[in-house]
């Protein structure tokens, strides 16, 4: 997985300020949650891509185990 970072544009910064003040949640918490969700999405995408790259028999085994991976990703 590749490291990721963000750079907020002015409209995004304004949205983040409004959302943060409305929900009384620190901006760093919101950004960390968003990055965490993105990392989980990216990991799931890579796992599915690796499973699809395998031969048919390996792919079938990977799809069976994919539910366990998804549980781990979503439960983390």
User: For position 47, what pLDDT does the model report?
Assistant: 82
Interval 18-30 mean pLDDT? 91
Stated pTM of the model: 0.57
CA dist., res. 42 & res. 56, Å (int): 23
Q: What is the pLDDT of residue 17?
A: 92
**Sequence-ordered list of residues with C-beta below 8 angstroms from that of 48, at least 6 positions apart, any chain:** 66
For the record, the structure tokens of 8 come out as 């907020």
């Amino acid at each position: 997985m590749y490291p990721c970072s963000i750079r907020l544009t002015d409209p995004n910064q304004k949205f983040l300020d409004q959302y943060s003040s409305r929900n009384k949640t620190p901006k760093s918490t919101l950004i960390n949650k968003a990055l965490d969700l993105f990392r989980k999405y990216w990991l799931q995408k890579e796992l599915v891509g690796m499973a699809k790259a395998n031969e048919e028999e390996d792919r079938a085994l990977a799809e069976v185990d994919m539910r366990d991976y998804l549980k781990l990703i979503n439960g983390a």
